């Protein structure tokens, strides 16, 4: 059932995008907003000008705030960077306005029906060999949902990819989400998370590293990348070439991290059959990504047998979809 009565949702709380999944008949429907904003000091003139441009905005603490999908266009008009409520997978503690912006975006996307929303939202894994820095993020979001009077539970992001895509192997295999702030990996065995971790190299790393080389703003690099980047052997264009360099760096780093994590046999389940890898997330969406990933994996002495490497049916919505599958099963 779709529409206002449908209060069961999966929510991907991503560094780059917030995605809500709902049931719609036998299928699923999705809605997404960029997790970004731009603010300018309030003036009546600016307010009128934005109305004429049909930019949607709200006012907050004496500022005009443009958030969500409208933010990049507005940032580009002002030749500035967008501000981001989250960084490397978690709430950005140095962005004061961030939580209020996320709250408003999430409320707009979820508070549509009369009943109390029931939401399963995604949380990232701790970095491989890194500090567990997730407590503040998860606790703050839980508190926000408590204030909104929603019922919530959480799901690990990599596991959500497995729930979304690996029904055919009885939820056994490796889910990877190549996002904005992080790449999240989860090896699941019969739907149970056996091992999960993240690395802090993903789309934002590719954008900011490329911007440093080419001298552009990262926001501009991102827009160009999303419009037209793909993998090919020869480059007419400097930007494409630099993007490929950092894409390769990320793929290489991730495969090495997987190799290291899966070599630690104490933590590994006893796999009796080769397992699939599913690639998802916005950063996995360019044409040629799967082949590039597979080529690098084949050149690596990988500790477990892989049956196939596939891209999620929709890389942009797999996490939200898996979170909804969890909500439907558990809530």
Query: Rule CB under 5 A: which residues touch Mg ion?
Result: 14, 177, 179
CB of 14 to ligand ATP, least distance (A): 2
d(CA 34, CA 280): 17
Binder of residue 203, out of ligand ATP, Mg ion, none (CB less than 5 to 8 A by kind): ligand ATP
Maximal CA-CA distance, the chain: 67
- Regarding 127 and contact with ligand ATP (CB under 6 A), the answer is no
Number of H helices, E strands in the chain: 10, 15
Binder of residue 89, out of ligand ATP, Mg ion, none (CB less than 5 to 8 A by kind): ligand ATP
Q: Which of the residues 212 through 241 are near ligand ATP (CB under 6 A)?
A: 222, 225-226, 229
CB of 98 to ligand ATP, least distance (A): 13
Using the minimum distance from each CB to ligand ATP, give the nearer residue, 64 or 122. Answer: 122
CB of 49 to ligand ATP, least distance (A): 28
Using the contact rule CB under 6 A, the part of the chain among 107-115, 202-210, 234-242, 304-312 near ligand ATP is: 202-210
Show Cβ contacts of residue 183 under 8 Å, excluding neighbours closer than 6 positions.
176, 177, 198, 199, 201, 202, 250, 254, 281, 283
Show Cβ contacts of residue 122 under 8 Å, excluding neighbours closer than 6 positions.
10, 11, 12, 13, 14, 154, 155, 156, 157, 160, 319, 320, 322, 323
Show Cβ contacts of residue 231 under 8 Å, excluding neighbours closer than 6 positions.
244, 247, 286, 287, 288, 289, 291, 292
Residue of the chain from 36, 105, 187, 202 that contacts ligand ATP (CB under 6 A): 202
Binder of residue 83, out of ligand ATP, Mg ion, none (CB less than 5 to 8 A by kind): none
Task: Extract the tokens encoding 28.
Answer: 């699923």
Using the minimum distance from each CB to Mg ion, give the nearer residue, 14 or 127. Answer: 14
Binding mask 7-26 for ligand ATP (x = CB under 6 A): -----x-xxxx---------
Q: Which of the residues 167 through 196 are near ligand ATP (CB under 6 A)?
A: 177, 179-182
CB of 164 to ligand ATP, least distance (A): 12
CB of 89 to ligand ATP, least distance (A): 5
Give the distance from CA 266 to its chain's centroid.
Answer: 30
- In the bound state, the residue with its beta carbon closest to Mg ion is 179
Using the minimum distance from each CB to ligand ATP, give the nearer residue, 22 or 137. Answer: 137
3-state secondary structure string, 207-224? HHHHHHHHCCCHHHHHHH
Closest CA to 61 of 82, 81, 39, 35: 39
CB count, 10 Å around CB of 312?
A: 24
Binder of residue 231, out of Mg ion, ligand ATP, none (CB less than 5 to 8 A by kind): none
- Regarding 89 and contact with ligand ATP (CB under 6 A), the answer is yes
- In the bound state, the residue with its beta carbon closest to ligand ATP is 203
Query: How many amino acids of this chain bind ligand ATP (CB under 6 A)?
Result: 23
Judge contact between 287 and 317, C-beta under 8 A: no
Site for ligand ATP, rule CB under 6 A: 12, 14-17, 89, 177, 179-182, 202-204, 222, 225-226, 229, 281-283, 285-286
């Amino acid at each position: 059932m779709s529409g206002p009565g449908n209060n069961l949702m999966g929510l991907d709380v991503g560094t780059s995008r917030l995605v809500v999944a709902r049931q719609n008949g036998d299928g699923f429907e999705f809605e997404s907003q960029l997790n970004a904003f731009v603010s300018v000091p309030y003036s009546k003139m600016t307010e009128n000008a934005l109305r004429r441009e049909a930019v949607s905005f709200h006012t907050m603490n004496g500022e005009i705030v443009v958030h969500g999908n409208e933010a990049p266009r507005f940032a580009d008009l002002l030749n500035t960077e967008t501000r981001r409520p989250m960084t490397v997978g978690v709430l950005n503690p140095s962005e004061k306005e961030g939580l209020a912006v996320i709250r408003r975006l999430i409320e707009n996307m979820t508070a549509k029906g009369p009943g109390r929303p029931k939401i399963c939202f995604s949380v990232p894994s701790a970095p491989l060999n890194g500090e567990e820095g997730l407590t503040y993020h998860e606790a703050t979001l839980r508190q926000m949902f408590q204030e909104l009077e929603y019922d919530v539970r959480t799901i690990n992001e990599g596991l959500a990819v497995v729930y979304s895509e690996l029904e055919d192997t009885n939820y056994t295999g490796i889910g990877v989400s190549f996002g904005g702030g992080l790449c999240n990996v989860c090896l699941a065995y019969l739907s149970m998370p056996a091992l999960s971790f993240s690395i802090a190299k993903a789309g934002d790393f590719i954008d900011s590293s490329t911007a440093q080389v080419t001298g552009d703003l990262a926001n501009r690099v991102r827009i160009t990348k999303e419009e037209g980047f793909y993998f090919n052997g020869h480059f007419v264009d400097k930007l494409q070439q630099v993007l490929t360099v950092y894409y390769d760096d990320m793929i290489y780093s991730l495969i090495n991290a997987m190799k290291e994590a899966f070599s630690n046999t104490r933590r590994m389940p006893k796999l009796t059959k080769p397992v699939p890898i599913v690639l998802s997330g916005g950063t996995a969406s360019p044409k040629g990504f799967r082949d590039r990933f597979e080529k690098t994996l084949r050149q690596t002495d990988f500790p477990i047998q892989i049956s196939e490497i596939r891209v999620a049916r929709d890389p942009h919505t797999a996490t939200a979809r898996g979170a909804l599958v969890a909500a439907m099963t558990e809530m």
